[in-house]
Structure 1
Amino acid sequence: MTKIKELIGTVCFILITCIALAQTGKIKGKVTQRDHEDVQAATVSIPKLKKSVKSTISGAYELTDIPYGTWELEVRFVGFHTLKKMITLNSDSLEQHIELSEKSNTDLDEVVVSGTMKEVSKLESSVPVEVYTSKFFKANPTPSLFDALQNINGVRPQLNCNVCSTGDIHINGLEGPYTMILIDGMPIVSGLSTVYGLSGIPQSLIDRVEIVKGPASTLYGSEAVGGLINIITKRPENAPLLSLDAFGTTWGEISADVAAKFNVGKKAQSLLGINYFNYQHPIDNNNDNFTDITLQHRISIFNKWNFERKDNRIFSLAGRYVYEDRWGGEMNWGKKYRGGDEVYGESIYTSRWEFFGTYQLPIKEKILFQFSTNGHNQNSVYGNIPYLADQYIGFGQFTWFKTLGRHDLLTGLTYRYTNYDDNTPATASAGNIALNKPTQTHLPGLFLQDEITLNGNNKLLLGVRYDYNSIHGSILTPRLNYKWNSVDKNNVLRLSIGNGYRVANVFTEDHAALTGAREVVFMHALKPETSWNGNINFVKKIDAGTTFIGLDATAFYTYFTNKIIPNYDKDPNKIIYDNINGHAVSSGVSLNIDVVFANGLKILAGATAMDVYNTEEGKRSGQMFTEKFTAVWNIGYTFKGIGLTADYTGNLYGPMRLPLLSATDPRREYSPWWSIQNIQLTKHLGKKIEIYGGVKNLLNWTPNKGNPFIIARTNDPFDKKVQFGTDGQAMVTADNPYGLTFDPSYVYGPNQGIRGFLGFRYHLFK
């Protein structure tokens, strides 16, 4: 009898369970962030049931046909911590509101790809990677990514010419040619574009920017000696249907970013972005008869496609076209004077196209084929000196990801082809300088990486790369990384040592070689530069009640051999290029502090102290255009009651050595301490519109302060009245009391004073 009762009870339980499972309901609610602002396009899912929806404009979501029971609810949104929560549904409807917390820039859970070429959290990455989301750059809106990087610790946009305002990116004091710029992991920005192509990347399409400081040549090859900057664009499925960001300044600058998403069929999504910048108002506040900043007219079009494939295999394509017309010079310059010696102007026409993509092979193993190709046409004149150049680069790479026990393996096979041609001695025939001979470089390579998980707290990464340069021969670049994290994962220590190399092309990298103000001299055939780098990085996360504190400290040391340093001092009429007969060193320490308070106050600050010098024939000298100290800050506060956010951003730079033309040159040999500071207010109007405005360069700082002049001999830019001695030096005369020649290379900071700005943003989601 007892057994019969047990059987009946079991049957009843099964029947009740089946009835319960047959019943379904819905889960609904809103997704917000800490200040109760609605979060649009967040992914709300129950992974076990493979059900998911996107939150609406108002942050609302609704999951339907959910069986009664207990399930894990997961909410994801870019820039915020993933929330996982157990919920129980036992009625027709369950209301569940979700509040997401924003990630900080030192967050250990942030996803990165640049350090090891695969998506991992910052915690799991054996290589230290800094991540800056698109929201970070909105605190100080700029017309280009080049300008936006000024508020990142250890990274400095360096202007290389007072007249045409071209520049490059310095990392830890190393010049622009040592920094590799990637778009979605592809080496797009290189060669000519390190000087001319950094502008025109639509910021509305940027998801985040990842920065690796120190050599990354083992994975990325030449140019990644000082570090790399990887610009990750948005995935179409995560982007709004339409977004617009436009602003203008009191100087007459107009900048606009427009992006739109659309579907083609059920398996293709596309993201289209247009960037436009226009400045056509010559200003001469320092009264030297030269434009203070360069006039520019630029348009850039970017298009990215993602295709859905079986088993979620990757297939994406993207392309970009940039055209820019910029000029600077004497205030009365016009296009009729282009290339002549009557009125001085520097006029640059840039036309550039790029195409790149990623395709995962339809096989069981994870093998990716990545490719990129770009063409760059440069039509420039510097006074009466023309610089005409064409560059074409093709790149292909196979990568194979394989996990074997504790070994996470990555193997890559690469090939890069570069065709470069210009009208300078760089591409002239050795036997006949009048005969043009374009440079063609073939660079096949092979790399292998093994990331070994020793245990839950320790990882070891071993890597090696072999390249064969068709001009310079074999190049080997190894690296070793070690990572330790505490049990609570709030402390991470990383040690790394690695080798880097760079094959130099002076005429695509050093604008001073093109200005026409000095003669370019090569003492010998340039050899590839090599470097060894050591890094110690420590990251600590502190949860102090309702306050989050993140610390990120790094000590670095890089030792160069065969370094190429332009010599401005030996002859004021020449720039002499040669591999140094000695060594060069870049060393220092940096610290980032990230503090987030519960009341909405956020502080991100950083400082770097460094010593960059070269030693040749026993003589040590500091590197030009390199500061010993730099600091940045980004302080934001949201007034929740009125929906207003205030952002105060700025940077501070220590003195740097500058090129003087003679012993009687009255300009400062070292720059002073200088700072650019900005303030911005942003007001949210509903869910779709933001109005923002503020003041840039609050201190009204410009480099001419404390100097009698910045550009030498602006009254005689073609040196028609300069008298030269038998030694080739400019002579001191009544018309030339300092014995100078025309030279715009004395530049270390932007020459644009205080200005106001006003703009608006519009975002339309489903």
Structure 2
Amino acid sequence: MIKNLLVLFSLFFAQIVIGQSASVLGTVTENGAPVPFANIILKGTAMGTASDENGFYKIDDLAPGKYVLLASVIGFEPYRQSFLIGKADDLTLNIELLPSAEALDETVVTGTLKAVNRMESPVPVEVYSPTFLKQNPTPSVFEALQNVNGVRPQINCNVCNTGDIHINGLEGPYTLVLIDGMPIVSGLGTVYGLSGIPNSLIDQIEIVKGPASTLYGSEAVGGLINIITKHAPEAPNFFAESFGTGWGEFNLDIGAKFSLGEKADVLTGVNYFKYDNPIDNNGDNFTDLTLQDRISVFQKWNFKRDASRIFSVAGRFFYEDRWGGEMQWTPAFRGGDEIYGESIYTRRWEVIGKYQLPFKEKMMLSVSYNDHHQNSVYGDVPYLADQRIGFGQLTWDKTIGKHDLLFGSALRYNYYDDDTPATANLRGNEADEVLIPSLFVQDEYKFSDKHSLLGGLRYDYDSRHGNIFTPRAAYRWRISDNDIFRVNFGTGFRVVNLFTEDHAALTGSREVVIAEELNPERSVNVNLNYLKKIYADDGTFVGIDASAFYTQFSNQILPDYDTNANQIIYDNLDGKSVSQGISANLDLVFPNGLKFLVGATFQDVRQTENGISQRQILTESFTGTWNVSYTFRNLDLTVDYTGNLYGPMRLPLLGELDPRSEFSPTWSIQNIQFTYKGIENFEFYTGIKNLLNWTPNRGNPFIIARANDPFDQNVQFDNQGNVVATDDNPFALTFDPSYVYGPNQGIRGFFGLRYTVF
């Protein structure tokens, strides 16, 4: 009897408790449209659900108290809302989501010079958001690109650590870097143009692999990288980020926006980076990492006009003092032959402007100008250079029926002067100065919703090389809403600009030899691309982006390190050069917060001359990249594991006796980061870079040849100028720091914080 009474009492008490519970319910929408399969949880509990096909959700059995609701779905910004539940009071909480900067249907402009949905673009464009940059914080965009599949920042100098960007195995001069669509970064300033842009001001990075000369002219032969800065009204009101590493590096980014009256919004950013802690872990008495003191100031003005027409002006000033060399070097030894050092002073300024003409037609005037001055010494060899690039372009975007037309005219001014053989002739030093006018037209014809064909033609006139035509064609087949197949054919050209700060030609004792008058390079490219998106009912997303590419060059200008160990011979290739391969990215996102972005590229880049074929120097046969991220929502903690893997590269040796490896090993740089976002407006992050502590001196007797005799004072030569092996120099070497394929910086910890006010 007592047992039965206890059961009845328990049931009665349970009914009272249940009667006091409540629910939270509502709809998940974007601009009023339902968002299905959104993942919704209550922070710190095991309670959660997903919205149905109509965007409706409901979480039952909530005891009275305070809760934090978290909602997430692919393509939208995370949603967070606190609420109170009373006794037996249901709460209606509707959720309005905002599209994310990582939305799957990104708007891209780089492939066709007009804003289009990425799925609709006939030209494959890869898009990387600020979130991607945050997964592995770096002091420059140059270093951040190390985790982009098929793109590799190549360090060209063991001592000064400057470099360029390789796309699909092609050398840096074939990559054009744009800021807001303007080609202000090229030639001498590639690595510097990618430094000093605060990550907080970057809206997205767009990458096109393959020739884009039809729209962008010379230097867009291998591909291009377009860094798009934020539109001032959409930027945070204030942003600050600072981080430091165990090696003593310090980086500071500050950004802010403000309005001037009702007609102008101004976006300002400052980047400062300093590293002044000489380290020599490999024991060669040379700095493993170049010391740097750098500041960059960026400002962008957006003016409000009738009919939302565009008018923006941006400018940037950049200054850097960097040096590397023997550990005892000081500025007092600059330019002398007692203690070896490479010291580079760089001053650069840029301006960009866009103005939409006040006509009914869509006509845009774009201008840019940059001035780059460099004062460098490499040991006792001076390198003084000035480069100025001016660019103006007028485009007319016109739609007629099924034809989406683009007409354009451009004028480019190039000025380059230095104290090397690049600007020397029979009359002595003479600056390279040229005006290149251009005309181009593009037509995208849509046969139907599923099929479109793009054709384009560009005409350039270069007084040194005459008329230059570069056609292109692209076909897009929309197999379904989530399946796109593209075929692209394009041509490219690059006018002669021998020294884009080729450090191998400036350091060491190699003599620079220009074999003959150099002709413009030409290229032909074919690219097949397949893009697929898969949405599972549980909210899982799978994205596949795969490409096959083939590029053939003629008249390619190559540095020959092999014919004579004491020379670098520049000549047009009398044969062909081919870059071919396959590349794929896999994007995988689970509702529980686990994300994968994995990429791999297999490539064969080689030159054939006189029937002999060999792999291009400093070019990997395969590469892999990964970004793995998981968020512990109840802890407000995100873990990011990033890395890359590079296959063997052929390396520049100094002769048959050189004991260093002819090919690099397969090597990898891996990083881990922990980010805490539990305090409003703040993010704290910490982690470890180069987890494997990999450096290129592994397995090699040395990296820098003759580091103990950088001025070759004890090197003996025969009558033909060849190095003679001696007891002091048994391998018959000269000082040479060009044997470089990866960073010398080993494992290190880092810590940083971000503060953002919207």
Tell me the TM-score normalised to structure 1 length: 0.87
Alpha-carbon shift at residue 566 of structure 1 (Å): 0.3
**Distance (Å, rounded) in 2 between the aligned partners of 1:476 and 1:268:** 41
Shift in alpha-carbon separation, 1:599–1:636, aligned structure 2, 3 A: same
Aligned to 2:57: none
What secondary structure is seen at the aligned counterpart in 1 of 2:143? Answer: helix
Aligned to 2:28: none
Pick one of 673, 678, 687 that aligns with 1:680: 673
Whether the 8 Å contact between 1:258 and 1:275 is mirrored in structure 2 is yes
* 2:718 aligned partner, one-letter code: G
**Distance (Å, rounded) in 2 between the aligned partners of 1:269 and 1:455:** 41
Alpha-carbon shift at residue 471 of structure 1 (Å): 1.3
Alpha-carbon shift at residue 183 of structure 1 (Å): 0.2
Alpha-carbon shift at residue 267 of structure 1 (Å): 1.2
Alpha-carbon shift at residue 727 of structure 1 (Å): 2.2
**Distance (Å, rounded) in 1 between the aligned partners of 2:747 and 2:578:** 37
**Is residue 517 of structure 2 the alignment partner of residue 519 of structure 1?**
no
Pick one of 557, 574, 578 that aligns with 1:585: 578
**Is residue 267 of structure 2 the alignment partner of residue 271 of structure 1?**
yes
What secondary structure is seen at the aligned counterpart in 1 of 2:701? Answer: coil
* 2:454 aligned partner, one-letter code: L
**Distance (Å, rounded) in 2 between the aligned partners of 1:549 and 1:539:** 11
**Is residue 718 of structure 2 the alignment partner of residue 720 of structure 1?**
no
Aligned to 1:192: 188
What secondary structure is seen at the aligned counterpart in 1 of 2:499? Answer: helix
Aligned to 1:564: 557
Whether the 8 Å contact between 1:685 and 1:691 is mirrored in structure 2 is no
- Which stretches in structure 2 are left out of the alignment for 5+ residues? 1-30, 44-66, 80-90
Aligned to 1:729: 722
Whether the 8 Å contact between 1:34 and 1:101 is mirrored in structure 2 is no
Aligned to 1:376: 372
What secondary structure is seen at the aligned counterpart in 1 of 2:376? Answer: strand
Shift in alpha-carbon separation, 1:117–1:82, aligned structure 2, 3 A: farther
Alpha-carbon shift at residue 517 of structure 1 (Å): 2.8
Alpha-carbon shift at residue 512 of structure 1 (Å): 1.2
Aligned to 1:165: 161
Aligned to 1:456: 449
**Distance (Å, rounded) in 1 between the aligned partners of 2:497 and 2:357:** 35
**Distance (Å, rounded) in 1 between the aligned partners of 2:522 and 2:300:** 36
**Distance (Å, rounded) in 1 between the aligned partners of 2:155 and 2:710:** 20
**Distance (Å, rounded) in 1 between the aligned partners of 2:194 and 2:730:** 39
Shift in alpha-carbon separation, 1:746–1:218, aligned structure 2, 3 A: same
Shift in alpha-carbon separation, 1:730–1:158, aligned structure 2, 3 A: same
Whether the 8 Å contact between 1:283 and 1:291 is mirrored in structure 2 is yes
* 1:608 aligned partner, one-letter code: T
Alpha-carbon shift at residue 198 of structure 1 (Å): 2.6
**Is residue 532 of structure 2 the alignment partner of residue 536 of structure 1?**
no
Whether the 8 Å contact between 1:33 and 1:99 is mirrored in structure 2 is no
* 2:392 aligned partner, one-letter code: G
**Is residue 305 of structure 2 the alignment partner of residue 313 of structure 1?**
no
Pick one of 481, 486, 492 that aligns with 1:494: 486
Bigger mean CA deviation after superposition, 587-596 or 566-575 = 566-575
What are the superposed Cα offsets for residues 636-688 of structure 1, whole Å, 9 maximum, x if unpaired? 00001010000000000000000000101000000000000000000013220
Whether the 8 Å contact between 1:34 and 1:100 is mirrored in structure 2 is no
Pick one of 71, 96, 99 that aligns with 1:98: 96
Q: Percent identity?
A: 61
Aligned to 1:214: 210
What are the superposed Cα offsets for residues 59-97 of structure 1, whole Å, 9 maximum, x if unpaired? 99xxxxxxxxxxxxxx999963899xxxxxxxxx99632
**Distance (Å, rounded) in 2 between the aligned partners of 1:612 and 1:472:** 27
Alpha-carbon shift at residue 503 of structure 1 (Å): 1.1
**Is residue 124 of structure 2 the alignment partner of residue 128 of structure 1?**
yes
Whether the 8 Å contact between 2:454 and 2:475 is mirrored in structure 1 is yes
**Is residue 573 of structure 2 the alignment partner of residue 575 of structure 1?**
no
Alpha-carbon shift at residue 351 of structure 1 (Å): 0.1
Whether the 8 Å contact between 1:506 and 1:513 is mirrored in structure 2 is no
Aligned to 2:615: 622
Within a 5 Å distance, the mapping from 1:357-368 to structure 2 comes to 357-368=353-364
Whether the 8 Å contact between 1:262 and 1:269 is mirrored in structure 2 is yes
Alpha-carbon shift at residue 104 of structure 1 (Å): 5.4
Whether the 8 Å contact between 2:38 and 2:72 is mirrored in structure 1 is no
Shift in alpha-carbon separation, 1:399–1:568, aligned structure 2, 3 A: same
Whether the 8 Å contact between 2:197 and 2:296 is mirrored in structure 1 is yes
What secondary structure is seen at the aligned counterpart in 2 of 1:667? Answer: coil
Whether the 8 Å contact between 2:508 and 2:710 is mirrored in structure 1 is no
- Which stretches in structure 1 are left out of the alignment for 5+ residues? 1-26, 39-57, 61-74, 84-92
Whether the 8 Å contact between 2:672 and 2:688 is mirrored in structure 1 is yes
Whether the 8 Å contact between 1:35 and 1:640 is mirrored in structure 2 is no
**Distance (Å, rounded) in 1 between the aligned partners of 2:488 and 2:95:** 44
Whether the 8 Å contact between 1:177 and 1:509 is mirrored in structure 2 is no
Shift in alpha-carbon separation, 1:356–1:497, aligned structure 2, 3 A: same
Alpha-carbon shift at residue 188 of structure 1 (Å): 1.1
Shift in alpha-carbon separation, 1:81–1:760, aligned structure 2, 3 A: closer
* 2:505 aligned partner, one-letter code: A
Pick one of 189, 207, 224 that aligns with 1:228: 224
* 2:524 aligned partner, one-letter code: W
Whether the 8 Å contact between 1:394 and 1:418 is mirrored in structure 2 is yes
Aligned to 2:235: 239
Whether the 8 Å contact between 2:705 and 2:736 is mirrored in structure 1 is yes
What are the superposed Cα offsets for residues 478-498 of structure 1, whole Å, 9 maximum, x if unpaired? 0010001123x1100000111
**Distance (Å, rounded) in 2 between the aligned partners of 1:118 and 1:179:** 21
* 1:432 aligned partner, one-letter code: R
Within a 5 Å distance, the mapping from 1:604-643 to structure 2 comes to 604-643=597-636
**Distance (Å, rounded) in 2 between the aligned partners of 1:138 and 1:739:** 47
Alpha-carbon shift at residue 726 of structure 1 (Å): 1.8
Whether the 8 Å contact between 1:114 and 1:210 is mirrored in structure 2 is yes
**Is residue 389 of structure 2 the alignment partner of residue 397 of structure 1?**
no
* 1:298 aligned partner, one-letter code: R
* 1:193 aligned partner, one-letter code: G
**Is residue 281 of structure 2 the alignment partner of residue 285 of structure 1?**
yes
**Distance (Å, rounded) in 2 between the aligned partners of 1:257 and 1:103:** 20
**Distance (Å, rounded) in 1 between the aligned partners of 2:289 and 2:557:** 30
Shift in alpha-carbon separation, 1:623–1:37, aligned structure 2, 3 A: farther
Pick one of 697, 704, 711 that aligns with 2:697: 704
What secondary structure is seen at the aligned counterpart in 1 of 2:559? Answer: coil
**Is residue 414 of structure 2 the alignment partner of residue 418 of structure 1?**
yes
RMSD: 2.4
Shift in alpha-carbon separation, 1:619–1:248, aligned structure 2, 3 A: same
What are the superposed Cα offsets for residues 506-549 of structure 1, whole Å, 9 maximum, x if unpaired? 22242212225311110011111000000000011111222100
What secondary structure is seen at the aligned counterpart in 1 of 2:159? Answer: coil
**Distance (Å, rounded) in 2 between the aligned partners of 1:542 and 1:241:** 37
Shift in alpha-carbon separation, 1:112–1:101, aligned structure 2, 3 A: closer
* 1:318 aligned partner, one-letter code: A
**Distance (Å, rounded) in 2 between the aligned partners of 1:235 and 1:196:** 23
What secondary structure is seen at the aligned counterpart in 2 of 1:641? Answer: helix
**Distance (Å, rounded) in 2 between the aligned partners of 1:754 and 1:278:** 19
**Distance (Å, rounded) in 2 between the aligned partners of 1:172 and 1:725:** 41
**Is residue 662 of structure 2 the alignment partner of residue 666 of structure 1?**
no
**Distance (Å, rounded) in 1 between the aligned partners of 2:599 and 2:158:** 28
* 1:761 aligned partner, one-letter code: R
Within a 5 Å distance, the mapping from 1:415-454 to structure 2 comes to 415-428=411-424, 430-433=425-428, 436-454=429-447
Whether the 8 Å contact between 1:33 and 1:102 is mirrored in structure 2 is no
Whether the 8 Å contact between 1:34 and 1:99 is mirrored in structure 2 is no
Shift in alpha-carbon separation, 1:367–1:455, aligned structure 2, 3 A: same
Whether the 8 Å contact between 2:38 and 2:73 is mirrored in structure 1 is no
Within a 5 Å distance, the mapping from 1:638-649 to structure 2 comes to 638-649=631-642
What are the superposed Cα offsets for residues 580-615 of structure 1, whole Å, 9 maximum, x if unpaired? 100000000001000000000000000000000000
Tell me the TM-score normalised to structure 2 length: 0.88
What secondary structure is seen at the aligned counterpart in 2 of 1:455? Answer: coil
